[in-house]
């Protein structure tokens, strides 16, 4: 009999602990945070179960600022006032938010890059996974692409990347500023001309000819990134971003870069650079989708 009671108690404990792992967070207008399981929302009231005590409760919608759901999505509630000549009416507006954000890097235009970042929040916004895409509008390489400038007739084409951001406290709706750190892989594709040499013997005399042919090159940089978001409105934010890392030189890119970098030097003094640093800066404006 005691074994049976112990088994029932153990099963109940496992069920309760399993349910409390996935919980919603209710942020109230008086800066309280309630860990709960939301069961129902109507035009006036939110019904929920407290995650710790399992007791059922309810709260007026007018007292709630935002709900972070366990699946990463959010729902915010704003109170709108309508004034008439004789009466003042109040009604509640529902703004359903998805956990997606998109931002445009305005600083990239300095290098004629049209750059967009798209990301999704995970686990109540503590983590974010994102992708980056950029297309370059310059006809030739400009000085911000420092490591492409020595290449003959170089042109940057596009960037593509993936990144992860970490926010220890998540996105707190009561905090205007949000700091983050993370890592990024950034791929840059470009074209340039490589030198092709050929040895020809004419009447026993050795002649070396050279010509340039168009070819492709790329950079695959790994970077540590950090920055901050500033909430301008419930759906609009500003972002500052800094990334520092590096990449390896390979193939024709490695050979052509070192030849250009060693121009005018003796054969013994020619450089053999295999690794170059990479810097990424962002001054962005973004929107919650």
Under 8 Å between Cβ of 234 and 95? yes
Among 25, 36, 122, 22, which Cα is nearest to 65's? 25
Q: Which range has highest mean pLDDT (162-171, 194-203, 255-264)?
A: 162-171
| 172 lies in the same domain as 137 | yes
Same domain, 61 and 193: no
CA gap 159, 282 in Å, rounded: 14
The percent of residues in the chain predicted with pLDDT above 90, rounded, is: 44
Task: Give the end of a domain, one of 37, 70, 97.
Answer: 97
Residue 109 clears pLDDT 80, i.e. is over it: yes
* Boundary of a domain, candidates 63, 97, 131: 97
Task: Name beta bridge partners: 240.
Answer: 228, 283
149 shares a domain with 10? no
C-alpha Rg value of the chain to the nearest Å: 29
Asked if residue 12 and residue 89 are part of one domain, the reply reads yes
Residues 77 and 156 both lie in one domain: no
- Same domain, residue pair 18 and 140: no
> Which tens digits make up the pLDDT trace of 242-275?
999 999 999 999 999 998 888 756 555 677 899 9
CA count, 13 A, side-chain hemisphere, 32? 8
C-beta of residue 183 within 8 angstroms of C-beta of residue 164? yes
State residue 222's pLDDT score. Answer: 98
Query: What does pTM read for this prediction?
Result: 0.66
Query: Looking at residue 204, what is its pLDDT?
Result: 67
107 with 213, same domain: the answer is yes
- What CATH number is associated with residue 110? 2.40.160.20
51 with 159, same domain? no
Structure token digits, residue 258: 């070192």
First and final C-alpha spacing in the chain: 57
Closest CA to 245 of 218, 278, 207, 212: 278
Angle at 77 between CA 76 and CA 79, to 5 degrees: 150
Mean predicted lDDT score pLDDT of the chain? 82
Q: Which range of residues forms the domain containing residue 120? A: 100-288
pLDDT tens-digit profile of 119-131? Answer: 998 876 789 999 9
Q: Is the pLDDT of residue 190 over 90?
A: yes
- Tell me whether residue 22 is exposed, middle or buried, using C-beta atoms within 10 angstroms of its C-beta: 0 to 12, 13 to 18, 19 or more: exposed
Domain boundary (97, 122, 145) is at 97
**SS3 of residue 108 by DSSP:** helix
Q: What is the pLDDT of residue 226?
A: 97
When divided into structural domains, the chain yields a total of: 2
Q: Give me the pLDDT at residue 97, please.
A: 58
SS3 11: helix
Please check whether residues 106 and 197 belong to one and the same domain. yes
Q: Is the pLDDT of residue 144 over 70?
A: yes
166 vs 179: CA distance, rounded Å: 9
Instruction: State whether 58 and 141 are in the same domain.
Output: no
Within this chain, do residues 127 and 207 fall inside the same structural domain, yes or no?
yes
């Amino acid at each position: 009999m005691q074994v049976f009671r112990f088994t029932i108690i153990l099963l109940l404990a496992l069920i309760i602990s399993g349910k409390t792992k996935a919980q919603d967070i209710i942020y109230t207008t008086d800066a309280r945070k309630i860990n709960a399981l939301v069961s129902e929302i109507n035009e006036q009231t939110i019904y929920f179960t407290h995650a710790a005590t399992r007791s059922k409760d309810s709260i007026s919608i007018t007292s709630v600022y935002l709900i972070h759901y366990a699946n990463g999505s959010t729902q915010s509630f704003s109170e709108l006032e309508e004034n008439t000549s004789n009466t003042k009416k109040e009604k509640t507006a529902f703004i359903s938010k998805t956990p997606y954000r998109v931002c445009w890097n305005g600083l990239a235009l300095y290098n004629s890059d049209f750059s967009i970042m798209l990301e999704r929040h995970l686990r109540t916004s503590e983590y974010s996974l994102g992708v980056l895409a950029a297309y370059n509008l310059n006809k030739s390489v400009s000085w911000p692409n420092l490591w492409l400038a020595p290449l003959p007739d170089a042109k940057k084409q596009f960037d593509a990347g993936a990144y992860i951001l970490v926010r220890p406290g998540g996105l707190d709706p009561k905090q205007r500023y949000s700091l983050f750190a993370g890592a990024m892989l950034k791929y840059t594709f470009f074209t340039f001309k490589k030198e092709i040499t050929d040895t020809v013997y004419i009447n026993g005399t050795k002649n070396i000819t050279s010509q340039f042919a168009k070819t492709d090159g790329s950079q695959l940089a790994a970077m540590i990134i950090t920055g901050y978001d500033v909430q301008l409105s419930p759906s609009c934010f500003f972002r500052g971003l800094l990334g520092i890392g590096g990449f390896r030189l390979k193939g024709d890119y490695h050979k052509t870069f070192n030849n250009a970098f060693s121009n005018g030097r003796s054969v013994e003094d020619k450089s053999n650079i295999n690794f170059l640093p990479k810097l990424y800066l962002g001054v962005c404006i973004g929107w919650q989708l």
